[in-house]
Amino acid sequence: MFVELNNENFKQETDTGLKLVDFYTTWCKYCKNQESILEELSDNGFWIGKLDCDKHAEMAHHYGISGFPSFILFKNGKIATQFSGYHTKSQLLNKLSAHL
């Protein structure tokens, strides 16, 4: 299950723990392909937040998002790593595991 993020809940949701945020758009083919992998990670206990950059462009701009999908991994409210583009499950797991 994903947590839908917006301007009001973003800081509160990403403030504690290890949180992966997917910055996406509804028109992005790669974002749609990435979703099933993110669902699998979420079903296996990883917290995944999704921010629709069409609806919340100011948040995307604040974090310097220019391509989709883009990801920011927050650890206790601070950016641990940031990356963009389609990633396989093993690539995402490697990035997450490096910060556990």
Catalytic residue ranges: 28, 31
With a CB cutoff of 8 Å and minimum separation 6, the contacts of 78 are: none
- 29 vs 49: CA distance, rounded Å: 19
Counted residue by residue, the chain has a size of: 100
Pairing of strands 3-4, 48-52: parallel
DSSP strand pairing (18-24 vs 48-52): parallel
